[in-house]
Structure 1
Amino acid sequence: MRAIDYFDRGHDRDPQRLAVVDTETGLKLTFAETKELSERIAAALQRGGFENQDLLGLYGPNDGMLLVVLLAMWRANGKWIPVNTRNAIDANAGYINYVRCKWLVYHSSKADEVQQLKDRCPVMQHFVCLDKRMGDDPSLEEFMAGVTAADFVEPEVDAFGNLSDLVGIFPTGGTTGPSKGANVTNLGWGTMIETAADGMGGRTDSPVALVSAPITHAAGPIALSTLSLGATQVILPGFDAERVLRTIADYKVTHMYLPPTALYQLMASPEIGDHDYSSLRIFILVGSPCSPEKLRQAVDIFGPCMCQSYGQVECPMIVAWFPPEDVARFAKEAPEKLAACGRPTRSIRVALLDDDGREVPRGEAGEICARGALVSHSYFEKPEETAEVRKFGWHHTGDVGKFDEDGYLYIVDRKKDMVVSGGFNVFTAEVEAAVTELAQVREACVFGIPHEKWGEQVHAVVVAEGITGEEIIAYAKDRLGGVKAPKSVEFVPEIPRTAAGKMDKKALRVKYWGDAQRMVN
């Protein structure tokens, strides 16, 4: 099916059910109203010259109308370009020019940034401001003036749902250079939604999904997945720990998504014990590994709703799934298994390969490789980069993992982040998990720094209170042994993050490595 078909399937369940609730603007739309409004916006796009498979960027904080525009763009068979509000202007301009995006719908709060993008992006031709007129750029309401849903012309579609058409060109993390654009087709997107719905569906007759992470990042795909289940989307403009906790209780939220770092902020909030979280059925952690100890604590706080998924832009969201019933069981019976990210889903095959393309024995570490309909088609206009990650008939994720005896997958490290110290391989994710077991440590980022004798030594950057570096090192040495334990610890108020919300190890390495090659390999 097409991306928009999944929203329409949710609409068909109950057209009069609320689809969108924007807690900031007060916007409330039923599925029927959302469908009609998306058809009207799609008609306005067509009137304005929007063509089949045109590119449209969305830029702004979370907003209910931003989600409706996304649906309208797919209804007109366009391709989505997420423009990350956390990115530097140069990074966003470079990506827009690279993929040649013509259209931009933005929020007025980003008007200054948009003016800079206009100056740097000659490829962009059409601008619409979501909430009000900005200079020559019409407001969305002005842009829609004079058209109705009946004016929308359905694009040509085949009985399979145009499986090879693109739903978007999604930027990779870009931690080692400019982002590449992953070409994601209707086939890949639909595979993701169907697989996610398998894990999230059937748990309540009245699903309510909280959207506080950026719609322009992973929250967008998850929102579409829950919309396909008929879930009401309760939208916050951004993440605020106390507001999230109150919203769960006030709206009886059943489904939500956050990265582990946001979970840690919820757990540290002074309001954590003040609200009722019993409505929660699915609380997905995705984006980076979660501390097993903090995941165990989260089960105690939020109940048997905690779950994890593993994926990347090139195989979106759901390569592996750790369902809430497994997480809750292991929290009581086998807490060491909480370090896993789940088992491979039915929509994809996963293998752990060595550098020669051979599968490694179970229990040993190898690069996580994937094959199946979930895998993106290619990188946009980058055949050499595509070939680099498509060796031996597999997509190579760049992540290192291992399977346990029960088939659970553990993310050991990014291949480029592994520390080689005195000839021994040290996986930084394992060290980070051990260090964050300490109650005084909120976050830890581990990487290698130069050492004259060993080549590299393990270094930890932590956000912590009430503990010394020596105590952290001693604990890690007891848990992991002398080779893997940090040899030095640095305390910081916050760990820097990339625009995708991941820990920015490259930025932290700079003062130790400068421009040395090992810093990024």
Structure 2
Amino acid sequence: MATSAPTVTGLVDLLDRQVRARPHAPALLVGDERVPLSYGEVDALAERAAERCVAAGLRAGDVLGLVAGNSVEFVGVLLGAARAGVVVAPLDPALSDVELRARVKASGARAVFSGDGFVEAEGGGRRGDALVLFTAGATGRARTVSLTHANVAAAVHNVCATYALGPEDATVAVMPFFHGHGLFASLLSTLASGGRVLLPAGGRFSAGTFWADLRAAGASWFTAVPTIHEELLERSADADMPVPPPLRFVRSCGAPLNAATQRALERMFGAPLLSAYGMTEAAHQIASEPLPQDGPLKHGTVGRATGVRLRVVGRDGRECAAGVRGEVWVAGPTVAGEGWLRTGDLGSLDEDGYLSLAGRIESLIVRRGLSISPEYVEDVLAGCPAVAEAAVFAVGGERIGAAVVAVRGEECGEPSEILRYCRERLAAVAVPDRVVFVPALPRTAQGGLDRLAVRERYG
């Protein structure tokens, strides 16, 4: 097991240590056949991509839009563009043409790379940056975030140090690389620490092949959002589902994970499930539950700060005492820009520095002068045996609504039954006024609950 995190300065030298010491070690496993590509081969792909960037007329500081799934092309162009001094803006290949053009424009891209090669675009340069990423847009429209190579280096170091990643580790690329979760936690940290990443066939996660992918990779860990964890847990009930391979740990990030789900996942995988907290503006990871040997697990929290400074600040601008809720602020080498980043998340720190989150401040529902966290009400609703998941939202001011998805094969009955369940477990002020049954909840491209879409559809 690794005892120290790798030292890199950014995307440019991410592979250098491994290429020098272990050029023939597998870095990627690719496609249906899980073909291994060594660190030396990935390095050669990056060199060719750098040459192609220069041949396409891109100069240092220009922005390149990168439209690709979790593929060899993505990895090669990402690292190769960095070597040419080009800033990369990863873009979701599932976006519509209109959305894609809007994001290309917002990123300032001078060219776009897709499976068809390079296409010119209109844009300027962002000298000094490494990446232009888009926020998930869970509660509003996606925004651009510029990250430097120093931000990238610090983010990779923090993930590797938190989970003691090393050459013996391997993972499956579950989360998309166009967002910080998949990019930093799965891809860049694994390559920097000398491990191997399996890129699923088709360039995206498939629950149907996931167990075979885990075994083919010899995976020691993986990271995903709660919706994917819940899908895996649901599939595990099938009689012909294979026993999962032994893992060192499992990581969850991107949204709150129900405590009962967390315990069930730990039983299924026979490994600790570590909850983490991240934001695009902080190059993904901000906090995480530690490995068992490094500290106690406190389910219901997202752990301790990882390489950054955390504080919780009240409305009066003063730092809150332990256990008191306020806005979460973060500062450190992973944060875009300087000074303290006001996350917009509501949370509290305990005496040991473990962070508990209580939802987005902008999502709070104010009713009878009290602030009600939708996430808290959703957690209670999720405890109802027939409820798979729920989304809580404001209706016309101070009224509360809940969109509910039934457990497969279960009957939820009437809305009155759900409301009765809530009245037995919630303060009267937090009980929803109405319940609507829906086949599925809207999701962001990263798998998180799209609260903006929930409000627009049901609010």
Deviation at 1:250, TM superposition (A): 3.4
Partner in structure 2 of residue 123 of structure 1? 122
CA distance in structure 1 between the partners assigned to 2:428 and 2:220 by the alignment: 44
Distance 1:211 1:42, change over 3 A: same
- For residues 284 and 272 of structure 1, the distance between their equivalents in structure 2, rounded to whole angstroms, comes to 25
Q: How does 1:238-317 map to 2 (within 5 A)?
A: 238-269=204-235, 270-271=237-238, 274-317=241-284
Amino acid in the other structure paired with 1:215:
F
Aligned residue for 1:209?
A: 171
The 5-angstrom pairing of residues 128-139 of structure 1 reads none
Counterpart contact for 2:138–2:449, Cα < 8 Å: no
C-alpha RMSD over aligned residues: 2.6
- CA deviation after TM superposition for structure 1 residue 512, in Å: 5.2
Match of 1:219 in 2: 182
Deviation at 1:356, TM superposition (A): 3.2
1:369 maps onto 2:377 in alignment = no
Q: Tell me, yes or no, if structure 1 residue 325 matches structure 2 residue 286.
A: no
Q: Does 1:394 align with 2:340?
A: yes
TM-score (norm 1): 0.78
CA distance in 2, matches of 1:288, 1:326: 25
TM-score (norm: length of structure 2): 0.88
| Deviates further, 261-270 or 401-410 | 401-410
Measure, in 1, the Cα distance between the counterparts of 2:257 and 2:433: 23
Amino acid at match of 2:151: G
- The equivalent position to 2:362 in structure 1, one of 398, 416, 441, is 416
Shift of 1:83: 0.9
* Percent of paired sites with the same residue: 26
Q: Structure 2 vs 1, CA of residues 272 and 361 (structure 1 numbering), >3 Å: closer, same or farther?
A: farther
Listed as ranges, the gaps of 5+ residues in structure 1 are 126-163, 331-336, 379-392, 514-521
Whether the aligned pair in 1 keeps the contact of 2:139 and 2:450 (CA below 8 Å) is no
1:90: how far off?
2.6
Task: Summarize deviations over 1:133-163 as a string: whole Å, max 9, x none.
Answer: xxxxxxxxxxxxxxxxxxxxxxxxxxxxxxx
Structure 1 CA distance for aligned equivalents of residues 140 and 261 of structure 2: 32
CA drift of 1:165 comes to 2.4
Q: Which residue of 2 aligns with 1:360?
A: 320
Specify which of 17, 33, 38 is matched with residue 9 of structure 1.
17
Partner in structure 1 of residue 6 of structure 2: none
Q: Which structure 2 residues correspond to residues 330-479 of structure 1 after superposition, within 5 A?
A: 330=297, 337-345=298-306, 347-377=307-337, 394-450=340-396, 455-465=397-407, 466=410, 467-468=412-413, 469-479=415-425
CA contact (8 A) 2:364 2:374 kept: yes
1:447 Cα shift?
1.5
SS where residue 330 of structure 2 aligns?
Answer: strand
Match of 1:486 in 2: 432
Q: Please state whether the residue corresponding to 2:429 is helix, strand or coil.
A: coil
2:3 is matched with none
CA deviation after TM superposition for structure 1 residue 340, in Å? 1.0
Distance in structure 1 (CA, Å) of the matches to 2:391 and 2:328: 22
CA contact (8 A) 1:443 1:463 kept: yes
Aligned partners of 1:216, 1:320: CA distance in 2, in Å?
A: 21
- In 1, the alpha carbon distance for the partners of 2:99 and 2:242 equals 40
- Match of 1:489, SS state, is strand
Q: Relative to structure 1, is the Cα distance of residues 265 and 175 closer, same or farther in structure 2, using a 3 angstrom cutoff?
A: closer
CA displacement 1:93-150 (0-9 Å, x = unmatched): 1221123202222136xx9xx9xxx7xx85179xxxxxxxxxxxxxxxxxxxxxxxxx
| Cα distance change of structure 1 residues 10 and 292 upon mapping to structure 2, 3 Å threshold | farther
Structure 2 counterpart SS, 1:248? helix
CA offset at residue 66 of structure 1? 1.8
Select which of 29, 36, 53 maps to 2:37: 29
* Distance of aligned partners of 1:409 and 1:511 in 2 relative to their CA distance in 1, 3 Å threshold: same
Which range moves more in the overlay, 239-248 or 501-510?
501-510
Provide the aligned length of Structure 1 versus Structure 2.
440
Q: Which residue of 1 aligns with 2:5?
A: none
8 Å contact 1:20–1:232 — kept in the other structure?
Answer: yes
8 Å Cα contact 1:61/1:107 also seen in 2: no
Please say which of residues 231-240 and 429-438 is displaced more in the overlay.
Answer: 429-438
Measure the CA separation in 1 of the matches of 2:444 and 2:430. 26
Shift of the 243–329 alpha-carbon distance from structure 1 to 2, 3 Å rule, reads farther
In 1: Cα distance, 2:316 partner to 2:422 partner: 33
- CA shift, 1:177, in A, is 5.3
- For the pair 1:189 / 2:189, whether they are aligned, the reply is no
